[in-house]
A and B are shown apart, each in its own frame.
Chain A
Amino acid sequence: MSVQFEPIVGRYMHLDLFGRPNRIYVEEAGEGTPLLCLHTAGSDGRQYRALMNDARIIGSHRVIAFDMPWHGKSSPPPGWHNEEYQLTSAHYTAMILEVMAALGLDRPILIGCSIGGRIALHLALEHPQSFRAIIGLQAGAHVDPYYDLSFLHRPDVHGGEVAAAIVSGLVGPDAPERERWETLWHYMQGGPGVFKGDLYFYKIDGDIRGRVAEIDTKRCPLFLLSGEYDYSCTPEETLGVAGSIAGSEATIMKGLGHFPMSENPEEFLEYLLPVLEKIDAK
């Protein structure tokens, strides 16, 4: 019997954030230009498994994904059991910069999806000098709440089941079954109230509509890739953001949904690879 190991290696990093110790799970694969990956709300770094297994990417990139505190294999910080988790723009930004510093990443390429795509816009605006380029997946400036978020965290509705059921339609119709359900499984595994806490940033605190036009792509190139079937961050929303930022490049990905790197990696890589080539050529 022969077994096969993926090139991905995972480690736990101890990092103080906002005055509290955190145990943060970090995965990486490959060598070369650092490529830092940010997962969606209520999920974790496994969403980038395909990038970390693709020879075309890891041959020249060091691909890194960390699970945010409360997510995946990262723990919530001590004291969490009496708190309501809420992600804010300020904390999200600081966390990313702290993780980059701790890992010694020098001007990485940043790729973030959904909430990760939103914070990518914040970072493009406020910290352009810290990144070689920024790639926003399903990145919009704002999303109005379109369902009662309290259903995500109450004892008479199973949090994992409802989180996956809410996002299931955001997966595009061409996603292979295996990748579709892997993507949804991550949602089913989320801790109580974590998806809801992330959406506080996505739907309330992280609204960047008023400032997005100030992003200077001469300081940091900005690429936006959005799936055609995403009704959370719609193609229209992404194109609207791109239209207001001079020099940004937007592509709508046919047949894909809200989780392109996880739901349909093969199709997604056809869109991502040319973007990475462009960035690497600069």
Chain B
Amino acid sequence: MIEALKERVNDDAALVRRGRYLSTTFLLEVGPTAWLISIFEGRVVSVTRGPFVMPSSSFALRASEAEWQKFWSNRPPPGANDLMALIKRRALKAEGDLQIFMAHLRYFKEALAKLRPEGGSL
């Protein structure tokens, strides 16, 4: 399912344009499963499933499978509708060099919302 990120992000020309100054690799943890997601100038170039021996990433987003499932539902309930909502409830941990995450916060919110069944919205 996470692999769909590549096509869904890259198919959204406006999202890619907003990410044109973003090139990084970040770690996404869905419960016990880790994914490395590489972005180059706003396009997702690879989505690689762990486990990894020595994963290098600029930052990591970590939440339980149940929390991500709520976030990725079509109409997420209050408290699960946004990355900041998850962070507020301490359900999502954002760790590492968060300057990249915060400078491109709208991009990361919209990109991850792409994994909702209908392609996602804010």
Contact = CB atoms under 8 A, between A and B. Distances in A.
Nearest to A231: B85
Contacts of A168: 82, 106, 109, 122
Interface range for B? 20 to 34
Interface stretch (B6-14, B33-41, B95-103): B95-103
Contacts of B79: 231, 234
B4 interface: no
A146 B90 CA distance: 9
B81 A229 contact: yes
A158 interface: yes
Contact of B87 (A146, A229, A235): A146
B105 A146 contact: no
Contacts of A180: 122
B103 A156 contact: yes
Nearest to B85: A231
Interface string A164-204: 11101111010000001000000000000000000000000
Contacts of A83: none
Interface range for A? 20 to 34
Nearest to A150: B102
A162 interface: yes
B102 A173 contact: no
Interface in A190-246: 228-232, 234-235
Contacts of B82: 168-170, 231
Contacts, number: 61
Interface in B55-99: 75-76, 78-79, 81-85, 87-89, 98-99
Nearest to A228: B78
A266 interface: no
Contacts of B106: 161, 164-165, 168
22 contacts: A147-B84, A147-B87, A148-B102, A157-B103, A161-B103, A161-B106, A162-B102, A162-B103, A165-B106, A166-B84, A168-B82, A168-B109, A169-B83, A169-B85, A169-B122, A170-B84, A171-B122, A229-B81, A230-B78, A231-B78, A231-B82, A231-B89
Given A147-B87, A169-B83, A173-B75, 6 more contacts: A156-B99, A161-B103, A168-B106, A169-B122, A231-B82, A235-B78
For the complex of A and B, 6 pairs with smallest distance between CB atoms: A169-B82, A165-B105, A165-B106, A231-B85, A146-B88, A151-B102
